[in-house]
Amino acid sequence: MAIIPVDYTNPRYDAKSLHRFTAEALRKAGLSKAHATELADYLTATDLRGVLSHGTRQLPGYVRSFQAGRYNTGPNIRIYREAAAVVQWEGDGGIGHLVSARAIRSAVSRAKSAGICLVTATHCGHTGSVGNWTRIATGAGMICLYYSTPMSPLPFDRSEPVIQALNNPPVSFGFPAAEGEPPVLIDMGTHLELPDVQQQISEISVLPLIKGLAYQVTSVMMTWPVDAQSTIEIRYPGATSSLTAIVMDPAFIGEPSDYTRTVAELRENIHAMHPLPGLDRLLLPGELEAEREADFDRNGIPLDGMHIQSLRELGDELDVPCYWETNR
């Protein structure tokens, strides 16, 4: 559900060139070829969907986290406990993208036989744009509810508003659709708004702030208390994230085609209604990203000057060519 602004007047950059640059930069940071390529896949896919804050813009920070030993460049990501429809993963300090993908794929596999699976993971780095992980489940025809916490323990020792102390834990809820249609997919941080905007909102009503706080608490309760029970030793200081996800197979409830037909009917009915105030059309979550993905894959990803400059500086530092300069 990309509400991140995209300036379509920015220069466009070829996704394949960005991917090649990203993979090589990650290799220079110490990742294996397989892990570097996989992480580049996720970051470029995030850019293609227009969630530009969580794609290749994050690459310089990730590289420095690997170089500084905050993340493990060669993690042994493994299942450390499992029982029936529950699987618990140890991230071994690896970046959360690699951990999340493996956790969700294992949950999809279990849900195919059990109908549902609860999966958790601990001791991992930033989980990125978490819609990547629910899309793994929706691509397999399954429902997925994903929660992540970016920091454990939370910073309650600091003097700041409760909303800031709870951080901005991301959530993603994904629901499969009929073939050829995008999944219904919510991918968002749980902060209602930035602090100065929250102050403006409070002058009108505190109800939105209370509901926003409820979203934060829900995500925290799904992750932090579970993570706190883990006996895994945290050996990489940046790997403070954890995740909890539930994957469900609609086939265990009824005929999958009936499910996707109902989703299609919902989509049709929603499109026929009036849009929200200030918007010119009504889309279900996930549809805007699908539109952007088709556009950006064909015409390039519109990136601002600061984004490209940060990648160019990283390339100079690591001696990685800026492939988009010749392939634009």
Q: CA angle, 145 as apex, 43 and 120 as ends, to 5°?
A: 80
- Greater confidence (199 vs 8) lies with 8
* Tokens read off for 125: 């780095």
Q: Which of 49-53, 206-210, 243-247 has the lowest mean pLDDT?
A: 206-210
Whole-structure pTM value: 0.94
Q: What is the CATH number of domain 12-286+300-327?
A: 3.30.1370.60
| Strand arrangement of the beta sheet that strand 86-90 belongs to | 78-83, 86-90, 116-124, 241-248, 143-149, 170-175, 184-189
Per-residue pLDDT band at 194 (split at 50, 70, 90): confident
Checking if the pLDDT of 27 tops 50, the result is: yes
Collect all residues with Cβ–Cβ distance below 8 Å to 262 and sequence separation of at least 6: none
The mean pLDDT of 124-136, rounded to a whole number, is 97
Query: Where do the domains of the chain lie?
Result: 12-286+300-327
Region 35-54: what's the mean pLDDT? 97
Task: Name the H helices within the chain.
Answer: 15-28, 33-48, 59-67, 96-114, 131-139, 162-165, 195-202, 207-228, 256-271, 287-299, 305-318, 324-327
The pLDDT tens digits for 260-319 are 999 999 999 999 999 888 888 899 999 999 999 999 999 999 999 999 999 999 999 999
> Which pLDDT value is given to residue 158?
66
